[in-house]
Amino acid sequence: MKKLRTRVRVLAAVFGGLAVIVAVQLAAVGKETASAKVNVEKSALSPDVKAATSLAPIVKKATPSVVNISSTRTIRMQQMLPPWFDDPRLRRFFGWEDDGRRGRRSQTHRSQSLGSGIIVSEDGYILTNNHVVEGADKDGVEVALSDGKTKYTAKVVGTDPRTEVALLKVEATGLPAITLADSDKLEVGDLVLAVGNPFGVGQSVTKGIISALGRANLPGGPVTEYEDFIQTDAPINQGNSGGPLVDAQGRLIGINTFIASPSGASAGVGFAIPVNLAKSVMDRLLKDGKVTRGYLGLLLQQEITPDLAKEFKLPDQNGALVSQVMEDTPAAKAGIKEGDVIIEFDGKKVSDFRHLRLMASQTAPDTKVTLKIIRDGRERTVTATVGEMPDDETLATRGRPEEKDESKVDALVGVEVTDLDNDSRSQFEIPARIRGALVTKVDEDSEAYDAGLRPGDVIMEMNRQTVENADKAIELSGKVESSRVLLRVWSNGGSRFMVVTNSKRK
């Protein structure tokens, strides 16, 4: 019993000692923490530092004008059902409706689209992308302000699929409208911010620069006819569509539209519609209730190649080469001819055919403009009164077919031609007004094939001389002394120029 009491006392002494040691150590830690010196500065960034490093002032200026847009559309699907589904109770259970045809039923469901928009006027006008609200049900567009609480039902004032722009209106006053900048004055390298609601997580801001200007005909982009995209590396994701791209002063310079990405997520290649283009669409919608566009009446060469630049005595490959002037149009009345190269439109340089088409389309009908052109290597200036774009831009019409002529062959090396006749006009949809020699064969290893000449094309001119028929084409080809032949051909609904190397005279 004595031994047991002794062991208990020893254990008590040991544990007591450990407790004392732990207590001393804790006290030491507490003492050390209490004596640590920590520098704390609770003031905000100094104005100088904030001005030099923070983008918060820009964000505070721009973000109140950004809205979230939710649109709903009703989609009706039709399906052929097996006989055993032809029971009212089953149809009611699956939500199928009778569409009036035996064995067919239709079903409707609502699809929702999320995007962003920008308030551009205090009385409730909002710019966004066409695809954000396309096909939306009446009263199916909801707009939420940046506070996340204030919501409105928006009316779709108008849309323009050709530019991917849409204009909405909410019944409100005193809204925080953004300031619009002049997108013609942007430069590559300018700082930009993209604002939107990516993936529905809430309003977000990303930073980047302008990577390029004047982008068009982009792979994977929206199907639009008038393109002049701003490219940026500011991250843009799903839900940013329709949101603003702003400059370093918080001014609107573009409407974010789409990205180029192999994965669907931002890869640093995003595109925005310039604000000047969006504003011109908005102004037309408000003034005319539709988008009216300026019109000259020209068909333009899609590209000025180095060979074409040499043939037309151009200093470079800039400008828009006129391949056809439509009859009784502003261009025809101004004296513009096939083969002219338009290098300036109302004082602005023309880079290519898309640029000219865009500038003309943004000009109000009945406006007088000056065009600087190069003809036969010399500059000259003409004045044109811009017309209004017809509803159908395909102005070529098919006329009465001509009588068949005898076949002719061997106009150029590797090329066979014949006269136009009833059957060929019908087969290749060649209008009656088109005159020339029909190409019936082009050897695939010929220079003409490499230049783009194909069966079904019509040779209208050779070295700027008119080709009325196949005989004339053969005659002119025999007189070619140089190693290059300049052809004007009709193809796929329009005319264009091409340069073919004459292998016989290399």
**Measured distance CA(245)–CA(235) in Å, rounded:** 11
Give the three-class secondary structure for 32: helix
Confidence of residue 166 (pLDDT cuts 50, 70, 90): very high
Contact 363, 336 (CB under 8 A): no
Task: Give the pLDDT score at 425.
Answer: 82
Task: Give the pLDDT score at 270.
Answer: 92
Confidence of residue 8 (pLDDT cuts 50, 70, 90): very low
- With a cut of 50, say whether residue 395 has pLDDT above it: no
Residue pLDDT, tens place only, 202-235: 889 999 999 999 888 776 666 677 888 999 999 9
**How does 63-98 read in b/e, with b if 16+ C-beta sit within 10 Å?**
bbbbbbbbbebeeeeeeeeeeeeeeeeebeeeebee
Q: Which of 237, 279, 246 is nearest to 63 (CA)?
A: 246
Backbone angles phi, psi at 427, to 5 degrees: -65, -45
- With a cut of 80, say whether residue 259 has pLDDT above it: yes
Task: Give the pLDDT score at 79.
Answer: 52
Task: Give the pLDDT score at 105.
Answer: 52
Task: Give the pLDDT score at 393.
Answer: 39
* Mean pLDDT of the 476-496 span: 80
Task: Give the pLDDT score at 112.
Answer: 64
Task: Give the pLDDT score at 99.
Answer: 52
Structure-model confidence comparison of residues 31 and 382, the more confident one: 382
Task: Give the pLDDT score at 401.
Answer: 33
Residue pLDDT, tens place only, 173-188: 999 999 999 999 999 9
Contact 405, 424 (CB under 8 A): no
What do you get for the CA distance between the two ends of the chain, in Å?
126
Structure-model confidence comparison of residues 72 and 92, the more confident one: 72
Residue pLDDT, tens place only, 96-132: 555 554 444 545 445 566 789 999 999 999 999 998 9
31-45, 331-345, 397-411 — which is least confidently predicted? 397-411
Task: Report the percent of the chain where pLDDT is more than 70.
Answer: 78
41-50, 78-87, 154-163, 340-349 — which is least confidently predicted? 78-87
Residue pLDDT, tens place only, 65-89: 999 998 876 545 445 555 544 555 5
**Measured distance CA(170)–CA(156) in Å, rounded:** 9
Task: Give the pLDDT score at 400.
Answer: 30
Residue pLDDT, tens place only, 319-378: 999 988 888 899 999 999 999 999 999 999 999 888 898 899 989 899 999 999 999 899
For residue 10, count CB atoms less than 10 angstroms from its CB and return exposed for 0-12, middle for 13-18, buried for 19 or more: exposed
Backbone angles phi, psi at 444, to 5 degrees: -70, -20
Backbone angles phi, psi at 281, to 5 degrees: -65, -45
Task: Give the pLDDT score at 408.
Answer: 35
Task: Give the pLDDT score at 110.
Answer: 53
- With a cut of 70, say whether residue 390 has pLDDT above it: yes
- With a cut of 90, say whether residue 150 has pLDDT above it: yes
Contact 443, 416 (CB under 8 A): no
Confidence of residue 17 (pLDDT cuts 50, 70, 90): low
| Residue matched to tokens 């300031």 | 179
DSSP 456-471: T-EEEEETTEE--SHH
Task: Give the pLDDT score at 402.
Answer: 37
Structure-model confidence comparison of residues 148 and 3, the more confident one: 148
Task: Give the pLDDT score at 35.
Answer: 66
Task: Give the pLDDT score at 247.
Answer: 96
DSSP 221-250: S---SS--EEEE-S---TT-TT-EEE-TTS
Average pLDDT value for the chain: 80
- With a cut of 60, say whether residue 95 has pLDDT above it: no
Task: Give the pLDDT score at 260.
Answer: 84
* Mean pLDDT of the 499-503 span: 73
Residue pLDDT, tens place only, 268-311: 899 999 999 999 999 999 988 888 899 999 888 878 989 889 88
Question: Which domains, and CATH codes, for the chain?
Answer: 62-169 (2.40.10.10), 183-288 (2.40.10.10), 294-388 (2.30.42.10), 415-505 (2.30.42.10)
State the pTM of this model.
0.66
**Measured distance CA(91)–CA(88) in Å, rounded:** 5
